[in-house]
Structure 1
Amino acid sequence: MAGFSSIDIGVFLGYTFAIFGVAFWASRDRHNHDKNTEDYFLAGKTLPWWAIGASFIASNISAEQFIGMSGSGFSMGLAIAAYEWMAATTLLIVAQWFIPIFLQKGVYTMPQFLLLRFDERVRIGMAFYWAALYVLVNLTAVLYLGALSLETALGLPWHWGLVGLALFSVAYSLYGGLSAVAWTDVIQVFFLVLGGLVCSYLALDWVSAHQGAWAGFLRLWQQYPQKFELILPPQNPFYNDLPGITVLLGGMWIANLSYWGCNQYITQRALAARSLSEARYGILFAAGLKLLMPILVVLPGMAVYDLYYSGQSFFVQTLGATPQTLRPDRAYPALMSLVPTSLKGIVLAALLGAIVSSISSMMNSTATIFMMDIYKNLIHPKATEAHLVRGGRWVSLAAVAIAALLAPLLGSFQQVFQYIQEFTGFISPAVVAIFLFGLFWKPTTANAALAAVVATFPITIALKYGLPGLPFLDRMSLVFLALAYLMMLVTIWDKPLSLAVKQRLTIQAFFPLLPIALFGIRGWLWTDSVLDIRFPIGKSLMHFLAVFGLLTSLGMLRSLPPASNAFQWSKRLSLTTFAYKFWAGFILLVLVALYVFLH
């Protein structure tokens, strides 16, 4: 990205000074006292709605979206936008049903919620799961993709880019904790949206040979209609990544609920809200921004697809000239390298902001879970507030150092965004099952939750290697269903009931599985009809039967006594303003219109 103008340098320096200035302001010790754990890990519970919404997006949109999702847009087209658009719906559900209970209980972390609802075993087990996931998968992938983008766009050696990103993130966020992260995220989102729009406009303009962005969009629409399919048919080569109607009815919900409703480095922003109302409006703001994200991160990849297969030599050389050497994840950095002088500073600030905001968020959340759920409980129960804050800083440093050492191992994955979804899917079904049952099914016992934690990996691995052709989103649906029935079974046999009653309830609970199993076997073997479960009608019926059967099973167990620590839902928690309902309805209407129009 040679050829920076004085304007580019000024924009980038302005961005850097703004980040460090806001971080310094947010990190200062207030009220003449040193930071305690609430200050460091929850920003003193002072965040307004607009900072919460901005921080949700800045923490989410990183190199894995700008680079990874753009690469997936190159390969499979607009269908990958399902992750963004379905996330908007998921956020509305989280704001209405999840966050009120988390705030009411005053938790710092998701494992702490599991302690209140279940017991210490579940808390510790999931704390280790999450800490490992953030460091070994999320942080590692963000550092790898970020360094890759700087190498392609700037010519900066990959290892120097990796070190630079880690140091930049540590420098502005380590001392101030979540407060520094969240307030700087407001600036990050401004540059993220502005830079993303600039790059998308330029990409579409290049597609149309400088006839304008709209002309470029129309060319893509006319030349590559298959790239605008939101529901991929079974014959599509990327069906295993996005298996048709599953993106609306099946495993996509599990991935999204796990990420947006039970994920520490996302929900931590809402836990730091001034009030429930501020948290809800912040999440609503984030849901609105999610509608915009495919324009910023997917369309550029689709534009590069046209430029690549039109024979543009630069893109052919940069992405790879043969199918064996083709690297779709280089699509966005290749675009960045062609951005004209005077706009490069904005685009680079957008990308850098997206990367470092996610790194700092993951660092802080890893430290929060480790110090509050593992260290304080297993290692040093009498640790002071100051000791926990200092320890949190050291854990943040260790997390980013480990991720930096592991990042080179991702070089063998062609689409890193899909790598993240695939390996996150090993734990997502258990997370969603535990939280949904813990929140909404009062009889659930701690042993049932622990059984789900222990069983998720063996069940997932068995399906992954036993049915290698099964799309991973469909696999997540099956794992979730298996864990749900396992939790029901363990709950039944945990209750102080007679043997005859336990046997009767077990038969009642599992009876609704019979039509699901029969339909699944029929749809799998009889592949010459519309009821083939690979096709939309068959798969839709299968998902309907699964959901209906699960709800029927839970209904048959309504006589089970509630757990002593089950949550009581208050109608007061569900109250929202007319303005909130209006904008939530508007977002849902836009999503329905998009899928109806583009289906």
Structure 2
Amino acid sequence: MQIVLVDWVIIGAFIALTIGVGLWYSRRASSSTEEFFVSGRSLPWWIAGTSMVATSFAADTPLAVTGLVCKYGVAGNWFWWAFAFGGMFTAFVYARLWRRAGVVTDVELLKIRYSRRPAHVLRLARSIYITLLVIPIVVGWVIKAMLTVLKETVFYSSAIAADGAAANSSVDSTGMAWVAVLCMLFAVAVYSVLSGMWGVVITDAIQFVIAIVGCAVFAAVAVNAAGGIGELQANIEQQFGDGQAFAFFPSFTTENPWLPLHIFLFMLGMQWWSTWYPGAEPGGGGYIVQRMAACRSERDSVLATLWYQFAHYGLRPWPWILVAFAALSLHPELRSNYLADDSFDPGVGYPMLMRELCPPGLAGLMLVTFFAAFMSTISTQMNWGASYLVCDFLVPLFPKLAGDDKRLLRASQAISVLVLTEGVLVSWLMVESNMSVDDAWKILAALGAGTGLVYMLRWFWWRISAWSEISAMFGSLFWFVVMQQNAVQQALLGRPLATEEQTFFVAILTVITWLIVTLALPPESESTLVDFFKLVRPSRLGWGRIADKCPAVEPDRDLGLRVVAAGVASLTIFVALPAIGDWIFGNYTRASVFTLLTAVFGVTTVGLLKSIAPTEPVSKNPVSEN
């Protein structure tokens, strides 16, 4: 890819704008830990929701989607589309509960929901687990993806070997890509450390617009290069023998389906409620909770989460999918190489097309698109990780720090850099092991399998205790390690297990583990449960025994309506996705039907939202004491 003056101007302007935002908000963010981590709980819904969307679009996302399409066709995206069910439940059922809890992090909820030493140990362990294991894996695959983009575009070079064959200068390009990534990480560290959540969410909003525009423009260029929609579709069907690549649902009758039926059923039927996955946590969690906590009212937290779900699942996928199809049409070896060697990553097709197709100007825009996606995710992971170690590790261990904002802010800034450094190390390990981005996605999903249900039920079943979560967290780790053993896999199915199959068994065994522990050990103290019920005011369902002791508390009475709203909103997304695809590929009759269904479900969702969301902003909750 040739970078000319106009591209450098675009890149330079973006970096200057990003650092400028960090400097602008540095004074406000440094006034308190509340400002640094949750923007003073004053964000409007559209800023908070857009920040969620921008964070979930990282440098790895287009590459992972390209890999899924090349391996499994459009239906492969059900790996992440299925999480929309859980996302809508978070928006309609859990968002206001989180806002009422008044926490800074989701781990902070543990000291409100549970009591005694197990709660203290769980809070410390959970903060360490997420900050030093989960977040570095996320940062690692994002950096690895950015390295791949740079190596295939800006630093791609080809030398003619003695025998006339093309040979990549991989060592030189890798080194230069690392230098470029480290420079970007320095820029991210500057504005994240200086401006905290304020800098993160404002730059996220800017980066979201850039990323959406860049991906849409490039999708049009890629499809045109493949000869247009009709030729692209005909070419892929001719090369691979059938239309499975374009099927929204996998074929249930084909002898050799691209996506096996049992894996699809697991994705759609179990994954959304059983698996804890960053950005799609059942019941809410992670940076999603941090954004909800930063909202100025319950209503804003609901609308922010709802906007995130629609934008993430409904607005963004098709530009990525179209580029994936263009890559598959122009480079059919992406799939054939994967079939011959499953360690090959077909996700590399996305940056390959960037290198081949981007003219001056668009090259700069696409690089800035990836820089924006990369930086928004990294900045969130840094702030999120620091919030865990400060609020849920340092303060509980050293209570005197709670009133010393200056020392906590310095600690927050130092820990942000620590999180980033560990992520760099993990990315190096991923590069060395040649792990693909979508494989890393699936491994992290397997690692958290079976824990999702306990995070959902702790709001609605008084019997859930700290031991339930402890056994779920460590049980998931234990069963994940067990399922990695070849002897276990052979004993179960007589062959090596796909990652999705491993996730299924880990989920089932983990749920059984924490249910046994929950019923075998005593519940939390009655005073703790009463205090939690008074603060959060959940539905009486599952809390009847405790609710009877709180006659003055008015619990939620519209849980059923909210569950219906979550289901209808999910259906809106699931019919909108094929509607858009059918319009693109000229299936106008079916597109019209799906569009009509989208309108019906969408209008119903809006009507339900008006019934269950407060019409006036609710006063801000006080910050809970650590």
Q: 1:255-287, CA deviations, whole angstroms, 9 ceiling, x for partnerless residues?
A: 477642344123311221111211222222222
Deviates further, 461-470 or 153-162: 461-470
Distance 1:485 1:242, change over 3 A: closer
Question: How far apart are residue 493 of structure 1 and its match?
Answer: 2.8
Counterpart CA distance in 2 for 1:454 and 1:10 is 50
1:70–1:299 Cα contact (<8 Å) kept: no
Counterpart CA distance in 2 for 1:298 and 1:253 is 26
Q: Aligned pair 1:102/2:98, yes or no?
A: yes
TM-score, normalization by structure 2: 0.75
Counterpart CA distance in 2 for 1:104 and 1:351 is 36
Unpaired runs of 5+ in structure 2?
A: 156-172, 491-495, 524-540, 583-589, 595-626
| Among 421, 426, 429, the residue aligned to 2:450 | 429
Counterpart CA distance in 1 for 2:249 and 2:406 is 52
Q: Which residue of 2 aligns with 1:441?
A: 461
One-letter code aligned to 2:298: L
2:236–2:329 Cα contact (<8 Å) kept: yes
| Among 42, 50, 57, the residue aligned to 1:54 | 50
Distance 1:185 1:332, change over 3 A: same
One-letter code aligned to 2:130: W
Deviates further, 476-485 or 172-181: 476-485
Report matched runs for 1:490-509 at 5 Å: 490-495=517-522
| Among 84, 87, 91, the residue aligned to 1:88 | 84
Distance 1:267 1:559, change over 3 A: closer
Report matched runs for 1:124-163 at 5 Å: 124-155=124-155, 157-163=176-182
Q: Which residue of 2 aligns with 1:198?
A: 217
Q: Which residue of 2 aligns with 1:506?
A: none
Q: Which residue of 1 aligns with 2:535?
A: none
Q: Which residue of 1 aligns with 2:300?
A: 278
Q: 1:16-61, CA deviations, whole angstroms, 9 ceiling, x for partnerless residues?
A: 233233333333328xxx5211100111112112112211111111
Deviates further, 352-361 or 277-286: 277-286
How many residues of Structure 1 are paired with residues of Structure 2 in the alignment? 524
Q: Which residue of 1 aligns with 2:378?
A: 359
User: SS of 1:346's equivalent?
Assistant: helix
Question: How far apart are residue 247 of structure 1 and its match?
Answer: 1.9
One-letter code aligned to 2:96: P
Q: Which residue of 1 aligns with 2:193?
A: 174
1:122–1:446 Cα contact (<8 Å) kept: yes
Question: How far apart are residue 390 of structure 1 and its match?
Answer: 1.1
Counterpart CA distance in 2 for 1:109 and 1:587 is 28
Calculate percent identity across the aligned residue pairs: 21
Q: Aligned pair 1:456/2:452, yes or no?
A: no
Distance 1:112 1:70, change over 3 A: same
Counterpart CA distance in 1 for 2:454 and 2:125 is 12
1:125–1:453 Cα contact (<8 Å) kept: no
Question: How far apart are residue 401 of structure 1 and its match?
Answer: 1.4
2:472–2:510 Cα contact (<8 Å) kept: yes
Distance 1:489 1:321, change over 3 A: closer
Q: Which residue of 2 aligns with 1:308?
A: 331
2:48–2:304 Cα contact (<8 Å) kept: yes
Deviates further, 268-277 or 579-588: 579-588
1:134–1:366 Cα contact (<8 Å) kept: no
Q: Which residue of 2 aligns with 1:537?
A: none
| Among 238, 241, 260, the residue aligned to 2:280 | 260
Q: 1:448-500, CA deviations, whole angstroms, 9 ceiling, x for partnerless residues?
A: 3222223222223223421263443344344333333333333333349xxxx
1:198–1:347 Cα contact (<8 Å) kept: no
Counterpart CA distance in 2 for 1:320 and 1:458 is 31
Question: How far apart are residue 392 of structure 1 and its match?
Answer: 0.8
1:74–1:303 Cα contact (<8 Å) kept: no
| Among 365, 388, 393, the residue aligned to 2:413 | 393
Counterpart CA distance in 2 for 1:84 and 1:255 is 11
2:76–2:259 Cα contact (<8 Å) kept: no
Counterpart CA distance in 1 for 2:250 and 2:569 is 30
1:151–1:161 Cα contact (<8 Å) kept: no
Distance 1:168 1:147, change over 3 A: farther
Distance 1:402 1:492, change over 3 A: closer
Counterpart CA distance in 2 for 1:45 and 1:16 is 28
Counterpart CA distance in 1 for 2:63 and 2:548 is 46
Q: Which residue of 2 aligns with 1:484?
A: 511
